Structure 1
């Protein structure tokens, strides 16, 4: 009787393992098709500018920057301490007028935006580094002084 129960258990396990293996094999092929479809869909979507880039500023410091941008550079968004696309568009208008920014007013604080920001920070906020478009520690420290 005990041998019969053991045989039944083994037979049940073999069945479960067989079903699981078949499910895994099927899941693998369906996953591959889904992954390919997702990859194709991702390629066809336009890239968007990242949401927020505060370059080390606290929320309170970023709110100071947004207030400056609202007062002088046409920023109309929320004063929320999150320097997003609209904040950077307003900042790019300032940088284009006075600090040599020549790129698109697109709200993307990329290399050219940072270079112009570094020129502003070098002029009045103690930035001593190269105008290299990299928001390193010196740029971030001077940006904090600007935002104070």
Structure 2
């Protein structure tokens, strides 16, 4: 339990430092000289980072979720414990049976979270609102489910 708290603290601190550094980097580019004539600027789409959202799951718990998705919901990505867009697309396919009506786009948005909350409320002890916010109650129930896989 103590190591989990330490890991979460380190991840939070790392995230905060990354956000601060990104803000500083953006401030620096705002005052940068324009690109020389004839040189194309780099598209932000070509350097966009892969979004990973484990909703509080450890790597081993996320791997269990990926194995479940691979077995039943056409997930064919790496079993790496990183719930990225391909993992979330498979989860959205699964959550269609829990009234997910949004696009299968791999984004763990409020519609995806609401469907997940409906599932967790019925079977895994989630007692909170179906509000699309992945708060502590949602994350705890999601962890309980992942541990049972």
User: What TM-score do you get using the length of structure 2 for normalisation?
Assistant: 0.69
Q: 1:49 to 1:133 in 2, by over 3 A?
A: farther
Runs ≥4 residues deviating over 3 A:
31-35, 44-50
Q: Which has the higher helix share?
A: 1
For residue 114 of structure 2, what is the aligned residue in structure 1?
115
Is the Cα–Cα contact under 8 Å of residues 49 and 107 in structure 1 kept in the other structure?
no
1:128 aligns to 2:95 (yes or no): no
Distance in structure 1 (CA, Å) of the matches to 2:57 and 2:78: 17
Deviations 1:67-118 (A, max 9, x none): 000000000001000000000000000001x100011000000000000000
Question: Could you say which structure has the larger radius of gyration?
Answer: 1
> Given the two structures, how large is their TM-score scaled by the length of structure 1?
0.69
Mark the runs of 5 or more structure 1 residues left unpaired by the alignment.
1-30, 36-40
Unaligned runs of at least 5 residues, structure 2: 1-30, 36-40
Q: Is 2:58 aligned against 1:58? A: yes
Would the alpha carbon gap of residues 139 and 49 (structure 1) be closer, same or farther in structure 2, given more than 3 Å must change?
farther
Q: Secondary structure at the match of 2:134?
A: coil
Q: 1:61 to 1:126 in 2, by over 3 A?
A: same
